[in-house]
Structure 1
Amino acid sequence: MDHPETDARAGGRDDVDAVFSALAHERRRLVLRALSGTEGHVADLDALVETVRDEAGSSDATGDDERREVRAALRHVHLPKLVASGLVEYDAETERVRGSAGAVERRLLAATEAYTAEPSS
């Protein structure tokens, strides 16, 4: 799943956009916050679904419908974006998500290095 234009692990100028884009959505921030509160920064998808569902507030959908919607959005939108930005690892087979302590800070620092290393014009 390589996306050179959004893959912050590749290095370069797009790092900043990829990291900030990953952090822009509330559900992705909730996932990162939930992972930071777990031992080893690991959680299964079902636990993240419940956390996001509870924290984001409920919608008009029934509980099961809402869980399915949150689960689909995490699997197909939010987790791939977090993976592409280098903030989490996701094993779709086991449905385990692993964050890294300080990943956000490291990715932001690495993303901005290209700008601080350039001479000013």
Structure 2
Amino acid sequence: MFEESAQSEDEPTGDGDSRAGRSSDGVRDVPSRDARTGVLADRRRRYVLSRLEASGAPMAVADLADDVVRRETDRSPTAMQDERERIYVSLYHNHLPKLAAAELVRFDADRKLVELAADVGELPLDVPK
């Protein structure tokens, strides 16, 4: 379902001399535990990971936005259309790209789908309401 990037390793990525996902010596960069933990400082991101883990399958960003609306407002997404749109945009442009950069999810922005990329069982995903 999720394909590797079609970008050639020789193409510049706009991030200096190193290629995306690779350090200057050509070794693949792996997010550190601290980097992953930093991404998890946000309650909404932890909820997204716990929701994806519970689903066990890829989810549409729209469905995640609906779940977040229900969780954060205790109301139906249809009753909170403006809030739903704001949350959708926040997930799409902020939270999911950060989770993907930490290699915790695979986010297909074109198809608007997201799935877990890592075992999150060891991560602190407690999400108090």
Q: TM-score, length-normalised on structure 2?
A: 0.64
The structure whose RCO (Cα within 8 Å, separation 6+) is larger is 1
Could you tell me whether the CA contact under 8 Å between 1:44 and 1:97 is conserved in 2?
A: yes
Output one character per residue of 1:77-105: Cα deviation in whole Å (capped at 9) or x when no partner: 10011001000011011101011461463
The percentage of aligned residue pairs carrying the same residue is: 32
Q: Aligned equivalents of 1:93 and 1:44: distance in 2? A: 11
Output one character per residue of 1:19-59: Cα deviation in whole Å (capped at 9) or x when no partner: 0111110110111011011133x111111001111112369
Look up the match of 1:79. 96
Post-superposition, which runs of at least 4 consecutive aligned residues in structure 1 deviate over 6 A?
Answer: 1-4
For residue 51 of structure 1, the aligned residue among 57, 67, 80 is: 67
Could you tell me whether the CA contact under 8 Å between 1:22 and 1:85 is conserved in 2?
A: yes
Partner SS, residue 53 of structure 1:
helix
For residue 97 of structure 1, the aligned residue among 98, 101, 114 is: 114
How large is the Cα RMSD of the aligned pairs?
2.9
Where does structure 1 lack aligned partners over 5 or more consecutive residues?
107-121
Q: Aligned equivalents of 1:104 and 1:10: distance in 2? A: 22
Q: TM-score, length-normalised on structure 1?
A: 0.68
Q: Aligned equivalents of 1:22 and 1:102: distance in 2? A: 15
Could you tell me whether the CA contact under 8 Å between 1:32 and 1:99 is conserved in 2?
A: yes
List aligned pairs for 1:1-121, cutoff 5 A. Answer: 10-11=29-30, 15-40=32-57, 42-57=58-73, 63-100=80-117, 102-103=119-120, 105=122
- AA of the residue aligned to 2:56: E
Could you tell me whether the CA contact under 8 Å between 2:60 and 2:112 is conserved in 1?
A: yes
Q: Aligned equivalents of 1:101 and 1:76: distance in 2? A: 21
Partner SS, residue 89 of structure 1:
strand
- AA of the residue aligned to 1:30: Y
Could you tell me whether the CA contact under 8 Å between 2:104 and 2:118 is conserved in 1?
A: no
